[in-house]
Chains A and B, each alone.
Chain A
Amino acid sequence: MHEKKRKIRRLRIISMSAVLGIATIGMIAGLGTGTLSAGGLKKIYAICPLGYLGTAIAGRDLMPGLLICFLIIAGLTILFGRIFCGWVCPIPLERKLLKNKLDEPNRLFHRAKGKDSRERQHGSFETADMKKQAASVDPDEEAVLSAVAADTKKQSSWGMPVLIGALASSAIFKFPVFCLICPIGLTFATLYALIRLFGFKDPTIDLLIFPAIIILELVVLRKWCSKICPLGALLSLFSRLNRRFVPTVDRSRCLETTHGTTCDVCRKACTFDIDVKDGKGSGHISECSKCMECSSSCPVQAIHFPWKKNKKENRTDHVS
């Protein structure tokens, strides 16, 4: 099971690194490929949907060609969900570099859980063990759960407020304001500052300031991806219509059904605190970045990401 988790994470790291690597090669070789802000070959390119909105509002120009591109990205997000966040965006790679964690841990549980639940999370999930654990319902578990439930209500998302604030600010000050502090943009800016340093022997102040902003966002603010990122919030708007690859619990395998116990391994594994079983988490299913941490953490492999919704299975299609 841990092998599976490692494998999925390795695949994600490879996918993110490939995107970052191709962009870096393009930057060094001078192919005009661009970055995740806007990238592609010649006249065929994709544009950051948030960057599009920012520039369209600041420039008072709909830019019809880019509107089509924006709609295509919206369509892809409806089709595949926020797959960008889990497999393309370089920010998890940087978190891995800074904190040795690819994803933001579900802080709710990190604060609330007791010693035994920590053991459970890190212990080996042999099915026999689980059965034993399932047989005896831990009294502390209830306390942990109620603490989590109380915390769930305190959780508040900043994504939408930051998105609205950024666009309003762009409208008034007539430049895409969020681009200044976007960690994705600053990642490529830092890369260019490095190219400048080693390629042109031109050290710049950017090389200190840009990484400092990224570190501030990822380390000090901690929950950037799940609670603050306005790009994620924008993609979440589209992925509310996502019906493919939605994490689905096979009730005939889930320990909650088979043993009547309270297992929350999948929810603990989720950056966004989505509870795929019954939607009690503070995260909405539309936030799912398809990182597959839940399915690879599940001790009984009860979670999968089906192309099509199977009506027999209990899907988390709730409205929060």
Chain B
Amino acid sequence: MENIQAPNSVHEEEKNKEEAPTFSRRSFLKNTGIAFVLLFALGGAGAVVKGKTLLRPPGGQDEEALLAKCLKCDRCRSVCPTSVISPATLTAGIVAARTPAMDFRRGYCDFCNKCVEVCPTGALASFHPDTVRIGKAAVQRDICMAWVKGGCTICAEKCPYDAISLDEHRRPVVNEEKCNGCGVCEYECPVLILRSYIGGRDRGITVKPVDSAPPQVSLVKMINSLAGQGGISDA
């Protein structure tokens, strides 16, 4: 078999066999060390740099489990019939980037379960339709047509769960017990058309993560209670 080899290559092969193992083992250990440092730096950077809290599709409320298992495969976004799932961008943090998030300006959630069905890893876990909460709707009183000028009742009409009631001035108030964050109210809110001159992208009612109370709401509550109108938002 080796009789066809040129003489110099036989010699070289012997040399390689002698020296290659020790050398490659040392360089393997060195490379492993460097790879560990780099990939731990990447993992550490991802763990430290926390982006803003995102609204997740139903079944993705356990944030830690979602980040651990999400492969960023795009299946949930792709299958969503209402296109409400919109992957987070890098502005949400390097780990959260490309993970599924809800954008209620594009659609709303009807809890059809399709995203959970196609999720390969169970990052979106099965959920109970009665208890799942994507977030909770909050009326933005400085933006909302009804609160600023009156006349609009669209969110209250469209809410599939009767979670929005109207106060004595026919202004929308969210019943947080009933709201599951489906986002129909935000999706339907016409304020950016009715009051297009105010600019911005936020609508008159927006779904917020359950855990983090937006500061402006508590500020509004404070002002309300000072003005003797407390209890409206807690109704």
Evaluate contact between A168 and B36: CB separation under 8 angstroms: yes
Known: A165-B38, A206-B89. A33 touches B121 (CB 8 A): no
Tell me the complex Cα distance, A71–B116, Å. 24
Counting chain A residues whose Cβ lies within 8 A of the other chain, the interface size class is 35 or more
Which chain B residues border A59 with CB–CB below 8 Å? 65, 68-69, 121
Is A39 part of the contact surface with B, judged by Cβ < 8 Å?
yes
Evaluate contact between B43 and A173: CB separation under 8 angstroms: yes
> Which of B22-30, B148-156, B184-192, B217-225 lines the interface with chain A?
B22-30
Is B87 part of the contact surface with A, judged by Cβ < 8 Å?
yes
Tell me the complex Cα distance, A176–B207, Å. 29
Is B143 part of the contact surface with A, judged by Cβ < 8 Å?
no
Please give the residue numbers on chain A whose beta carbons come within 8 Å of chain B beta carbons, in ascending order.
26-27, 30-35, 37-39, 42-43, 45, 47-48, 51-52, 55, 58-61, 63, 66, 142, 145-146, 149, 152-153, 156-158, 160-162, 164-166, 168-170, 172-181, 185, 188-189, 192, 200, 204-206, 209, 251, 256-257, 260-262, 278, 280, 314, 320
Max chain A CB contacts within 10 Å: which of B27, B42, B73, B76?
Answer: B73
Evaluate contact between B73 and A35: CB separation under 8 angstroms: yes
Is B169 part of the contact surface with A, judged by Cβ < 8 Å?
no
A274 to chain B, nearest CB (A): 14
Q: Which 8 A-B pairs have the closest CB atoms?
A: A32-B79, A165-B35, A173-B43, A161-B35, A38-B73, A34-B75, A37-B73, A169-B43
Known: A38-B120, A42-B118, A165-B36. A156 touches B71 (CB 8 A): no
Tell me the complex Cα distance, A157–B29, Å. 11
Evaluate contact between B46 and A173: CB separation under 8 angstroms: yes
Known: A37-B73, A189-B98. A145 touches B8 (CB 8 A): yes
> Which of B9-17, B133-141, B157-165 lines the interface with chain A?
B9-17
From the candidates B13, B39, B47, name the one contacting A280 in the complex (CB within 8 A): B13
A71 to chain B, nearest CB (A): 15
Known: A146-B12, A162-B39, A165-B32. A55 touches B89 (CB 8 A): no
Is B117 part of the contact surface with A, judged by Cβ < 8 Å?
yes
Max chain B CB contacts within 10 Å: which of A39, A43, A48, A180?
Answer: A180
A87 to chain B, nearest CB (A): 21
Classify the secondary structure of B's interface with A. helix
B13 to chain A, nearest CB (A): 6
Output the nearest chain A residue to B76 by Cβ-Cβ distance: A32
Tell me the complex Cα distance, A30–B95, Å. 24
Evaluate contact between A205 and B91: CB separation under 8 angstroms: yes
Which chain A residues border B64 with CB–CB below 8 Å? 174
Evaluate contact between A66 and B121: CB separation under 8 angstroms: yes
- 17 other contacts beyond A31-B78, A145-B12, with CB at 8 A cut-off? A31-B79, A34-B75, A34-B78, A34-B120, A45-B75, A59-B121, A142-B8, A146-B8, A156-B24, A158-B35, A161-B32, A161-B34, A164-B36, A168-B40, A169-B42, A169-B43, A175-B67
Evaluate contact between B4 and A164: CB separation under 8 angstroms: no
Is B114 part of the contact surface with A, judged by Cβ < 8 Å?
yes
From the candidates A47, A174, A278, name the one contacting B71 in the complex (CB within 8 A): A47
Interface string of B80-120 (1 = CB under 8 A from A): 10010001011100110110000000100000001001101
Evaluate contact between B74 and A35: CB separation under 8 angstroms: yes
Which chain B residues border A157 with CB–CB below 8 Å? 28, 31
Output the nearest chain A residue to B15 by Cβ-Cβ distance: A149
Is B199 part of the contact surface with A, judged by Cβ < 8 Å?
no
Evaluate contact between B75 and A32: CB separation under 8 angstroms: yes
Is B20 part of the contact surface with A, judged by Cβ < 8 Å?
yes
Tell me the complex Cα distance, A32–B94, Å. 24
Is B6 part of the contact surface with A, judged by Cβ < 8 Å?
yes
Tell me the complex Cα distance, A66–B47, Å. 26
Evaluate contact between A314 and B46: CB separation under 8 angstroms: no
Max chain A CB contacts within 10 Å: which of B72, B79, B122?
Answer: B72
Tell me the complex Cα distance, A48–B153, Å. 48
B185 to chain A, nearest CB (A): 21
Tell me the complex Cα distance, A209–B98, Å. 13
Tell me the complex Cα distance, A142–B46, Å. 50
Evaluate contact between B79 and A153: CB separation under 8 angstroms: no
Contacts A/B (CB < 8 Å), 16 sampled: A32-B78, A35-B74, A38-B120, A55-B70, A59-B68, A153-B16, A153-B20, A169-B42, A172-B43, A173-B43, A174-B47, A180-B46, A192-B98, A204-B91, A206-B97, A260-B6
Known: A55-B69, A158-B31. A256 touches B4 (CB 8 A): yes
Evaluate contact between B35 and A38: CB separation under 8 angstroms: no
Which chain A residues border B77 with CB–CB below 8 Å? 192
From the candidates B36, B47, B71, name the one contacting A173 in the complex (CB within 8 A): B47
Output the nearest chain B residue to A227 by Cβ-Cβ distance: B31
Known: A165-B35, A168-B36. A149 touches B91 (CB 8 A): no
